[in-house]
Structure 1
Amino acid sequence: MKKLLLIALGLVSFDVNADPTYDATRGALQNNSALCGYGYNPNCSSGSRSAPPPKKIIYHDVLVPSKFGALAVSVKAGHIAGSLNHNSLAEAKREAVKHCQQGSRNTPCKAITWVRNGCLAAAKGKVKNNLFILADAAGPQGTVEQEALQKCSNRGATECEIIMPEGCSLPQLQ
């Protein structure tokens, strides 16, 4: 009987130390900034794309599926194309490559950037010997065209201009 009572008290003591308000994302390891580069720290505020946003977001108290977009380019033909508002990243990349190949007379195309619940844009500029440089950007609505132009000029190009205006893949209430 004493052993049974001792076992019962031992089991009850396990529950006494449990904190129902404990948040594992705010522990010592999760707040260690040295772990930001490895994607283990959800509290990092870096611009890293290693930790994508959740697959579904809550918008006005409604769970809404994410939307994806992608850009693809044919270097051989100098053609760029995009796709927006797809339900998966694979579908967005596949459609971007398909549109690119149609517009570049079936030359090989490659997906160069993508976004989840955000926007895409691309710019081109001239460098020495009139070669063109391509700069793409993905991010929040209203920022990507300026970012693409900035990337273009940062790469040493002049006469940078938008060749793919901002296009957004944003969750929609249905």
Structure 2
Amino acid sequence: MKKLFLMVLGLISLNAYADPTYDATRGALQNNPALCGYGYNPNCSSGSSSAPPPKKIIYHDVKVPSKFGALAVSVKAGYIAGSLNHGSKEEAQREAVKRCRQGSRNTPCKAITWVRNGCLAAAKGKVKNNQFILSDAAGPQGTVEQTALQNCRNRGATECEIIMPEGCSLPQLQ
């Protein structure tokens, strides 16, 4: 009889835990209002969250040093050189002239254009008497090669081509 009594008691206790309508998402932890801020409580309204509002990030003016670039040409040698990412216009022009002189075997060179926080390119083309002309451009990234070619054509040249591809002097956070 004791055995029968223990079996009946065991079956009754199993039946108590086998509730088919039990919803695990409605348990004690899910209904705890302290968990509203974490999104665990589906019963929380959006306005009653106990989580603090997110902090606003305030950006202050960040001073990024400008970068300069320059192009220099030796008309006598038909040579062009450039320099990029210098701290001043003068420094960029000096370096461009120095590189031009080195590449043109010390012929006279002259700085022809410069840029601050932008890009440079140069093109050459042929005019009627078979002389070449040089056209340079300075401006925003991705535009200067087309501008140099257009400047070349605007000066009456044909067979315009890029001889100094786009090079950029752009500021960067350190």
- What corresponds to 1:102 in structure 2? 102
Give the 3 Å change call, closer, same or farther, for CA 80–63 of structure 1 in structure 2.
same
Tell me what 2:82 maps to: 82
Query: 1:59-138 alignment to 2 at 5 Å?
Result: 61-138=61-138
Q: How does 1:18-33 map to 2 (within 5 A)?
A: none
> Matches of 1:171 and 1:64 in 2, distance apart?
6
Report what 2:159 is aligned to.
Answer: 159
RMSD (CA atoms): 1.4
Corresponding residue SS for 1:91: helix
Aligned residue type for 1:164: M
Q: Which runs of 5+ in 1 are unaligned?
A: 1-58
Structure 2: stretches of 5+ with no match in the other structure: 1-58
Is the radius of gyration larger for structure 1 or structure 2? 2
CA apart distance, 1:128:
1.3
Q: Give the structure-1-normalised TM-score.
A: 0.65
Per-residue Cα deviation, 1:54-91 (whole angstroms, up to 9, x for no partner): xxxxx995210000000000000000000000001110
More strand by share: 1
Q: Which structure 1 residue ranges, 4+ long, deviate > 4 Å from structure 2? A: none
Report the CA distance between 1:126 and its aligned residue: 0.5
Question: Matched residues in 2 for 1:124 and 1:101: separation?
Answer: 19
Aligned residue pair count: 116
Q: Are residues 1:146 and 2:136 paired?
A: no
- In structure 2, relative to structure 1, the CA distance for the partners of 1:151 and 1:60 (3 Å cut) is farther
